[in-house]
A and B are shown apart, each in its own frame.
Chain A
């Protein structure tokens, strides 16, 4: 393989892996948006909480106290993060989204979740401090090599878990009654109400699923990012961009956009410089909004006059 091809391939792999991380964060955002037209600004902090939950269960609870191997401990910690995210989602739904839901307002929940975000970030700062935690998953430092191409075991794990999560979410939405009900609510609240579906329950469920996804993303990001209480904040703005590029509330769009942004980022680093990543991503975002305002995969919603 020529050096050039190897480089292109390597950066593409880097990009896809990065994209999968973004997808894991963005999926929850898009799910909440799709069902209830709300933005959860604290979503990124759920990711951070998930990362810390995973960190403490992987490096303390499962390994030091329960004597499991590092590998098992880490894999189990993913579920702990998932649970932590879900719990947090339950709380935030009860505290913010449920009370504000009936006012059919897109701004107040946004501001309220900004408040939640400030609260969570600083509570974690008090609890864990600002010095980065060293979260070593046993997979992060093992490198798989094919000739010049390399990637870490962790990145394989990330891609597999991302695929499983997407697959799971997809089949849940397609094949289960609750999933179908969720889609019904996202399309038309009143009709869903007529079908005898408890809307409150469905919305709580959506937030819990989305938050659990965020927690899980935290467990996977933890060993590869700089784990501080501010870790999530570093990806949230990009996650917003991805959700928009993919079309708000559109799962397929989010997945494609996430991976696309990951790849663009890798090639921006290669050819333009890492200092302009955000510039490139957001110029792309505005460009997308000009040429295709409804996102990569458009869902037509005709305004009924």
Chain B
């Protein structure tokens, strides 16, 4: 671990000039928001959905008089989920767009790479998609995250598996990325501390397509109670189907229960079919919720993007980031410093995914954003109230 002081003094003194650039003194009625998302490469999975959410929120916020006469101005940049590209892009945005706040990135690698630059430039960073604990554990003052970090997801998952499901054995399945490793570690720590046993930890690259050999291996391990799974939608559909085929999980007539954290969007069940039956997972955005904020969001989303579409948690996260910025502006924020200040004082601010309260580290500490649901035989969700 590198101390923050060291970072501050040396590593990215590169961005020294940025502070001056990004603090315009002129009275203004625009708050500029730089949005860094991956738009190219496989990670554009996040970027495309993120853009949808931001665009929708922007339309609503800027309608009419904006927020007491102030409007949000957004610029998207492709940071490609890569540390190098993200650092280049964040510098570009900082100097060409001079944002008051930057939203992004989705991938933990890239978020961790840009955080020190924004810290140096004293521009707040609002993150809604990276799970790596380190992001809010490094002592940054300008980093805020509404996404539950890996510990916040992994701990309740591990605890509930042991206490609520009575699970004693688990097989960890995760994609080999920063977030996948962090999630799996979080679960393992809690589950083993409670007395559970990890039978196997199976990681796989992001380009693995065929999961039958993995399912076969798990089937040969004997009785497995839970299978915490951390991977993206595309791979999880195939993984669940393979597990069902190998009769490991309930969906295929087995006894194992797949568990997951916030990786899968609404609509996963429809894609995976019967294989997903019995899957228990954390969702942060539940489109079946009857809260007005949620129903309004869904209606607006469908009006803009098509009646057959339901927003995913990624859409919702991006939408929420704009709501929070608007809220900060409503509370009087006019520049980077005041946005940071308003963020740090936010308590119980309602957004589509739940309520937001930033702790001293900038992490949302309100666990109301974590809902457990179980997939039923008809592929609908049942809330578990854990």
Contact = CB atoms under 8 A, between A and B. Distances in A.
DSSP class of A's interface residues: helix, strand, loop or mixed? helix
A233 interface: yes
Contacts of B41: 230
Which of A10, A21, A140, A231 has the most chain B CB atoms closer than 10 A to its own CB?
A: A10
Contact of A7 (B48, B205, B220, B247): B220
B163 interface: no
Interface stretch (A29-37, A172-180, A268-276): A268-276
Q: How large is the interface on B (under 10, 10 to 19, 20 to 34, 35 or more residues)?
A: 35 or more
B216 A7 contact: yes
A69 interface: no
A221 B210 CA distance: 10
A41 interface: no
A11 interface: yes
B212 A274 contact: no
Q: How large is the interface on A (under 10, 10 to 19, 20 to 34, 35 or more residues)?
A: 35 or more
A273 B203 contact: yes
Contacts of B208: 234, 274, 277
Nearest to B41: A230
B274 to A, nearest CB: 8
B210 A233 contact: no
B60 to A, nearest CB: 23
Interface in B180-213: 202-205, 207-210, 212-213
B351 interface: no
A17 interface: yes
A99 B263 CA distance: 47
A134 B216 CA distance: 23
A15 B238 contact: no
B271 to A, nearest CB: 4
A70 to B, nearest CB: 14
Interface stretch (B63-71, B229-237, B357-365): B229-237
A150 B213 CA distance: 12
A132 B205 contact: no
A134 B237 CA distance: 9
A18 interface: yes
B245 A129 contact: no
B45 interface: yes
A279 B357 CA distance: 45
A233 B207 contact: yes
A119 interface: no
Contacts of A273: 202-203
A16 to B, nearest CB: 11
B246 A275 contact: no
A94 to B, nearest CB: 28
Contacts of B8: none
7 contacts: A21-B210, A141-B273, A143-B245, A152-B245, A234-B207, A275-B204, A277-B208
Interface of A: 3, 7, 10-11, 14-15, 17-18, 21, 122, 125, 129-132, 134, 136, 140-141, 143, 150, 152, 221, 224-228, 230-231, 233-235, 265-266, 269-270, 273-275, 277-278
